[in-house]
Structure 1
Amino acid sequence: MILYIAEKPSLGRAIADVLPKPLKKHDGYLEAANGDCVSWCVGHLLEQAEPDAYDAQYKSWKLEHLPIVPQQWQLKPKANTRSQLTVLKKLVGQAQQLVHAGDPDREGQLLVDEVLSYLKVSQSKLASAQRLLINDLNPSAVTKALKQLRSNREFIPLSTSALARSRADWLYGMNMTRAFTLQGRKVGYQGVLSVGRVQTPVLGLVVRRDEEIAAFQSKPFYEVLAHLHDPNVPDNSAFTAKWQPSEACAKWQDEEGRVLAKGLAENVAGRISNQAAKVLSVEEKQKRQAPPLPYNLSALQIDCNKRFGMSAKEVLDTAQSLYEKHKLLTYPRSDSRYLPKAQFSDAPKVLQAISQGATELLQGVDAPDAKLKSKAWDDSKVDAHHAIIPTEKVANLNALSNRERQVYLQVARQYLAQFYPHYLYWDTRVSVEIAGGIFNASSKREQQAGWKQLFRSNRGEESDNDDEDSSGNLPKLTVGQALWCDRGEVVEKITQPPKHFTDATLLAAMTGISRYVSDSDIRKILKDTDGLGTEATRAGIIELLFKRGFLQRQGKTILATDAGKGLIHSLPLSATLPDMTAQWENRLEAICQREINYQHFMSPLLQTIEQLVHEACQQLPTALAGVKANKPAFAKRRRSSGSRKSASGSSSRSKSATATKAAKGSSTRRKTTAKSS
């Protein structure tokens, strides 16, 4: 008997639907006519044990216990899914062949692997286990995936990386949370000070942005515009050019080159008024812009937040519904924006499905050309999963909720763009001399709309992809041509503070975290990594900070609360910056690529945690003095042995980093040592 173990029931049903009929329904699994079975997990069936599972004294929070490092790691069944684990135990014992059908990502790999390990599956059966990678739940796609099984052993590094991440988050989050919560009590803060290797640097980004805005002082700066025309061509020859200050003006400029001296600008404007001008250079180039790549989850979340005001979690939940319930999108937690070349042969069917189900996207535009192949098709940039695209199923938009419709159309339009030619335009740049000063002007003139016709604002939903210059066209100019400056104009502007974060900009900051890293060497490395968190966890991390009372929303704007600010100012700087956690992600990816092993990741991590805990115990978090906790740390049940709250290091589907318990009492210190598995 072949046993397929899916990550969740919806995926299990999709697999069973293509197996020999009739199907028999059992408690927790489906049986095909040939005897093969499909069962499933329900997310993570196992979770990291609480500290007191290693030693009862850890039920009480005491500084002398820290850092707590398990000697032998323990997983425990989740209470609400224990029955499904029992079903899998029986089926795994009966099966001759195992097929791992977890979601095609790091967590999906670990989710099933940890069950097989916990059930003590024999080495021979593990060695022959196969891996089924499914990105599309429609029958044709599932059937195709079943013909492309791979050895599950190929994915051991992926599973090891996820395991290291899970344990590291538990160690960091639990120890740091206990240390700072206990120290916080000493200054009167009665909340749990949850610290995590991802959530805390994200909070730090928001706190520092808020404070930068609060401290910002606006100042005026000045631009000089020259209003020009050709005296020999009175009609349609007028245009404006902007002054480019020379090096001699540097002392009147700020670090961004803006002129701060109004008198200087007025002097230039006066000197060029009613003066002859001459064209120094004319540069006209034909440029092309390729279609935007299909979406990964972060890019989809960013665009949907900008366009529809959807939170990151709302986009993920909606895309997940379109994948599982409606089978209209491929796997939504993807971090890739590329497609396998083999998928190109399916393009005509996908395009047909879009044209039949989402006709509004193609109204008033050229038909897509299924023979065009954009740069999105690149096998070298696709591993376990590819970009999020529509499936071959025809959508019934009337059967979708408003959010589902918006997200589906967004993904469909991005896919359609791959089958349109490049956007072509003429880019013209002109330099003019007036009274010894240099003035520049530029314009863009469209030659071929190409894929941009799908994104025009008059089609209902304006796209951020449309970045055409709105300055208009320049007249035909030649080098040496004589012009006349009618007048110089001083334009006063005010420097603007950075904007508060929104879901879109915070997600963009998390994915492009290298911009916020101080170390140039680390910044260089991080340009090639996925940033803070993963596609699957970023939305949850942001929501977690709201639930814990560290962030708050004002419309689309995300702001830090007093508790959030106080926590950041109480922590060591290294715990609030993305440098450390970004390095973690880089090293976790190195495990996936077989460049380092588990121990090479964990050993330095343990040293870092010990140092951070030591530092936490040496100083009080005075920034939290007088700050009221948004949520009480300890409920009325305090008279009992203790209450439990989550203090995971970062958000994940497993929530396996839960590590907080609080109670009265005292005990002696016992510190266990680390041992890898």
Structure 2
Amino acid sequence: MKLYIAEKPSLGRAIADVLPKPHKKQQGYIEVGNGDVVSWCIGHLLEQAEPDAYDDAYKKWRLEHLPIVPETWQLKKKPNTSKQLTVLRGLVKKATSLVHAGDPDREGQLLVDEVIEFLKTPAKKKNTAQRLLISDLNPAAVKKALNNLQPNSDYIPLSVSALARSRADWLYGMNMTRAYTLQGQKVGYQGVLSVGRVQTPILGLVVRRDIEIANFVSKPFYEVLAHLQTQQQETFTAKWKPSEACRPYMDEDGRALVKKLAENVVSRVQGKMGEVTKLEKKNKQQAAPLPYNLSSLQIDGAKRFGMSAQQVLDTCQALYERHKLITYPRSDSRYLPKEHYAHRGSVIKAIANTSSSLNQAAVNADQSLRSKAWNDGKVEAHHAIIPTEKSSNVDRLNSSEKNIYELVARQYLCQFYTAYEYADTVAEITIAGGLFIAKAKMTLKLGWKVLFPKSAASTNKQTDAEKELAAQLPTIKKGEQVLCQQAECIEKQTQPPKHFSDATLLAAMTGISRYVQDSDIRKILKDTDGLGTEATRAGIIELLFRRNFLVRNNKLILATDAGKGLINALPESATLPDMTAQWESVLDGISKKEASYQHFMGGLLQQLSGMIEQAKATLPDGLRGLSSGKPAGRKFKKKPAAKRSYKK
């Protein structure tokens, strides 16, 4: 008997649907017509044991116990899913061969592997297990995956990487949380001061941004606009570019800070003739945006519909599992395998049948085009999120599901539209020794942008000056004389950075290299996933809200006093993304056989010991007089993020 072990029931049912009939549905599994069986996990069936499993003394939180480091790691059954683990125990024992059908990522690999290991599966059965990789729950895609089973042993590095991350998160989070919670109690704070390798640097980003805004002092700066007329009586506007001689009166962004300087320029050029001293016109192209991965979809979902990262993820899961309208949503890739190109006609037809608003866009798609999205070299465990070949009645979808489906579908259709073409023109005009710049951008061919019409609201947000500067330049040539009919000095104020929103915080997490201090790490991070993973980011952000470290103010995300107090108490290295970036870099190396588990864990333990000693020597005075409203727990328990990943 062959036993298929899926990550969750919906995936198990999708596998069984394409296996021989008749089926017998049993408690926790399905028997198929040829005698094989399909069963499933329900997310993680196992979790890291609590510290008191290693020593009963650890039930009471004490500083002298820290750091707690298990000699032999233990997993325990999760109480709410232990019944399903018992079902799998009996099936694994009866099975002659196993098929691992976890989700196609590191966590999915570990999730099933740890069950097989925990059940003490005989070595021969374990070593001959096969791997089934499914990213699309529709029958045709599942059948294709079943015909392409691979040795599960090929994916051991993925599992080891996820295991290292799980154990490291336990060590770091449990020890640091106990240390700072106990120190917080000494200054009267009774809440749990949760610390994690990802959650804390995210909180640090928000805290530092809030402090920067609070301390920001706005300063005036000045721009000079010259309203010019050509010999053919056509008009356009150019902006003054201060010269190097003005450097002492400018800020680091090249803005003039002295009003008299700008007013002097106005008086010098007013009514004077100028000359077009340089003229550059270039025709350019912009390729269609790539299909979505989860983070880019969450960012657009926040921008377009005000959805949180968790809401987008939950909606994607419904579209994937319940409706089967999109492919695997927890993907970190924005590329597609080349063989997927052959299915474009069916996918486009499904979009046309499912979304009335995209029907014409699907009809107009040029299926002879092939964007750079199809690239086997960029696809690893899973590919970009795209629509499946299944059609559905849009009335079956709620508004969130419809919105997210259409985002995914529109992004896919972009791949079958030509590039956006435009002409960039830059003119330099010299007037009375001063340099003025005029720029224009003229659309030549909308291409894929026809799928993204600009709203009137976004157009109306432009100021009159911006609209004038963005206007098309008249036909001018180098050496031509122009008249400065009018010059004006415009006073503006420097603006503080904006508070984070769901969209910008996710963008910061995925583009974390911008916030990393070490240049070597920054260079590495440009090619990695950023802070956290596609599957965990939403859950980690929500954890910070539940811990009362973050609050929402309309669409803005702000740090609470407790959040600020914790960040100020921690060593700086714990609040910056540098450390977790280094972790992710090594964990990625483990999954590619470029780094070792032992080296990673050894370095972590050395670093953790130093941080615990620092915690013991520091009181979090910024938390005096504050209360989370929740009593500090006596047990440190990690709940699964997004139903299966440990909080970080």
Instruction: Verify same fold: TM over 0.5.
Output: yes
Amino acid at match of 2:382: H
SS of residue in 2 equivalent to 1:239: strand
Which residue matches 1:582? 581
Does residue 114 of structure 2 align to residue 111 of structure 1? no
Determine the C-alpha separation between the residues in 2 that align with 1:647 and 1:106.
19
Which residue matches 1:183? 183
Does residue 271 of structure 2 align to residue 274 of structure 1? yes
Task: Tell me by how many angstroms 1:622 deviates.
Answer: 1.0
1:47–1:655 contact (8 Å) kept in structure 2: no
Which residue matches 1:341? 338
Which residue matches 1:259? 256
| Superposition pairs of residues 650-665 of structure 1, within 5 angstroms | 651=641, 653-654=643-644, 656=646
Does residue 299 of structure 2 align to residue 309 of structure 1? no
Amino acid at match of 1:28: G
Distance change >3 Å, CA 44–CA 461, structure 1 → 2: farther
Distance change >3 Å, CA 298–CA 149, structure 1 → 2: same
Determine the C-alpha separation between the residues in 1 that align with 2:25 and 2:315.
29
Distance change >3 Å, CA 197–CA 325, structure 1 → 2: same
Determine the C-alpha separation between the residues in 1 that align with 2:356 and 2:95.
47
Determine the C-alpha separation between the residues in 1 that align with 2:629 and 2:561.
9
Residues 365-406 of structure 1 deviation map (CA, whole Å, 9 limit, x = unaligned) = 970011111010010010110000000111311110010000
SS of residue in 1 equivalent to 2:439: strand
Determine the C-alpha separation between the residues in 2 that align with 1:227 and 1:30.
77
Distance change >3 Å, CA 285–CA 139, structure 1 → 2: same
Which residue matches 1:599? 598
SS of residue in 2 equivalent to 1:386: coil
Residues 143-168 of structure 1 deviation map (CA, whole Å, 9 limit, x = unaligned) = 01111111111110100000000000
Which residue matches 2:130? 130
SS of residue in 2 equivalent to 1:457: coil
Which residue matches 1:532? 531
SS of residue in 1 equivalent to 2:21: coil
Task: Tell me by how many angstroms 1:631 deviates.
Answer: 2.3
1:158–1:592 contact (8 Å) kept in structure 2: yes
Which residue matches 2:624? 625
Which residue matches 2:17? 17
Task: Tell me by how many angstroms 1:655 deviates.
Answer: 5.3
Determine the C-alpha separation between the residues in 2 that align with 1:498 and 1:605.
34
Determine the C-alpha separation between the residues in 2 that align with 1:632 and 1:316.
31
Task: Tell me by how many angstroms 1:652 deviates.
Answer: 6.1
Does residue 404 of structure 2 align to residue 388 of structure 1? no
2:353–2:391 contact (8 Å) kept in structure 1: yes
Amino acid at match of 1:27: Q
Does residue 211 of structure 2 align to residue 205 of structure 1? no
Residues 451-501 of structure 1 deviation map (CA, whole Å, 9 limit, x = unaligned) = 000001259999x9xx99971210111110111111111111110000000
Determine the C-alpha separation between the residues in 1 that align with 2:564 and 2:535.
26
2:535–2:645 contact (8 Å) kept in structure 1: no
Determine the C-alpha separation between the residues in 1 that align with 2:112 and 2:456.
45
2:353–2:359 contact (8 Å) kept in structure 1: no
Determine the C-alpha separation between the residues in 2 that align with 1:506 and 1:204.
11
Determine the C-alpha separation between the residues in 2 that align with 1:225 and 1:459.
26
Pairwise CA RMSD of aligned residues? 1.8
Determine the C-alpha separation between the residues in 1 that align with 2:49 and 2:133.
30
Distance change >3 Å, CA 280–CA 557, structure 1 → 2: same
Task: Tell me by how many angstroms 1:657 deviates.
Answer: 6.6
Which residue matches 2:30? 30
Amino acid at match of 1:501: F
Does residue 393 of structure 2 align to residue 403 of structure 1? no
Does residue 292 of structure 2 align to residue 292 of structure 1? no
Amino acid at match of 1:592: S
Determine the C-alpha separation between the residues in 2 that align with 1:632 and 1:257.
52
Determine the C-alpha separation between the residues in 2 that align with 1:469 and 1:70.
67
Determine the C-alpha separation between the residues in 1 that align with 2:315 and 2:361.
28
Task: Tell me by how many angstroms 1:653 deviates.
Answer: 4.0
Which residue matches 1:433? 430
Residues 26-56 of structure 1 deviation map (CA, whole Å, 9 limit, x = unaligned) = 1110011000110000000000000000000
Amino acid at match of 2:593: R
Does residue 58 of structure 2 align to residue 61 of structure 1? no
| Superposition pairs of residues 127-166 of structure 1, within 5 angstroms | 127-166=127-166
Task: Tell me by how many angstroms 1:126 deviates.
Answer: 1.6
Which residue matches 1:424? 421
1:5–1:102 contact (8 Å) kept in structure 2: yes
| Superposition pairs of residues 499-648 of structure 1, within 5 angstroms | 499-634=498-633, 643-644=634-635, 646=637
2:352–2:362 contact (8 Å) kept in structure 1: no
Determine the C-alpha separation between the residues in 1 that align with 2:386 and 2:554.
30
Question: After the TM superposition, which of the residue ranges 619-628 and 385-394 deviates more from structure 2?
Answer: 619-628
| Superposition pairs of residues 74-85 of structure 1, within 5 angstroms | 74-85=74-85
Determine the C-alpha separation between the residues in 2 that align with 1:145 and 1:460.
46
Distance change >3 Å, CA 461–CA 222, structure 1 → 2: closer
TM-score normalized with structure 2 length = 0.97
SS of residue in 1 equivalent to 2:500: coil
1:166–1:657 contact (8 Å) kept in structure 2: no
Determine the C-alpha separation between the residues in 2 that align with 1:289 and 1:66.
55
Amino acid at match of 2:374: W
Which residue matches 2:486? 487
Which residue matches 1:225? 225
2:207–2:563 contact (8 Å) kept in structure 1: yes
Does residue 439 of structure 2 align to residue 449 of structure 1? no
* Higher RCO, 1 vs 2 (CA within 8 Å, ≥6 residues apart): 1
Determine the C-alpha separation between the residues in 2 that align with 1:647 and 1:294.
34
SS of residue in 2 equivalent to 1:293: coil
Amino acid at match of 1:383: E
Distance change >3 Å, CA 470–CA 448, structure 1 → 2: farther
Which residue matches 1:379? 376
Amino acid at match of 1:308: F
Determine the C-alpha separation between the residues in 1 that align with 2:226 and 2:506.
41
SS of residue in 1 equivalent to 2:438: strand
Runs of 4+ in 1 over 6 A off after TM superposition: 459-462, 467-470
Task: Tell me by how many angstroms 1:173 deviates.
Answer: 0.4
Amino acid at match of 1:368: A
Which residue matches 1:172? 172
2:176–2:612 contact (8 Å) kept in structure 1: yes
Amino acid at match of 1:325: R
Amino acid at match of 1:628: S
Amino acid at match of 1:304: G
Identity %: 63
Residues 321-340 of structure 1 deviation map (CA, whole Å, 9 limit, x = unaligned) = 00000000000000000000
Residues 387-437 of structure 1 deviation map (CA, whole Å, 9 limit, x = unaligned) = 000001113111100100000001000000000000011111111110011
Determine the C-alpha separation between the residues in 2 that align with 1:256 and 1:458.
31
SS of residue in 1 equivalent to 2:470: coil
Task: Tell me by how many angstroms 1:644 deviates.
Answer: 3.6
2:245 alignment partner, one of 222, 231, 248: 248
Distance change >3 Å, CA 109–CA 584, structure 1 → 2: same
2:513–2:522 contact (8 Å) kept in structure 1: yes
TM-score normalized with structure 1 length = 0.93
Q: Which runs of 5+ in 1 are unaligned?
A: 635-642, 659-677
Task: Tell me by how many angstroms 1:619 deviates.
Answer: 1.5
Which residue matches 1:47? 47
Distance change >3 Å, CA 356–CA 29, structure 1 → 2: same
Determine the C-alpha separation between the residues in 2 that align with 1:252 and 1:387.
49
Distance change >3 Å, CA 653–CA 364, structure 1 → 2: closer
Question: After the TM superposition, which of the residue ranges 25-34 and 124-133 deviates more from structure 2?
Answer: 124-133
Question: After the TM superposition, which of the residue ranges 589-598 and 121-130 deviates more from structure 2?
Answer: 121-130
Determine the C-alpha separation between the residues in 2 that align with 1:260 and 1:312.
40
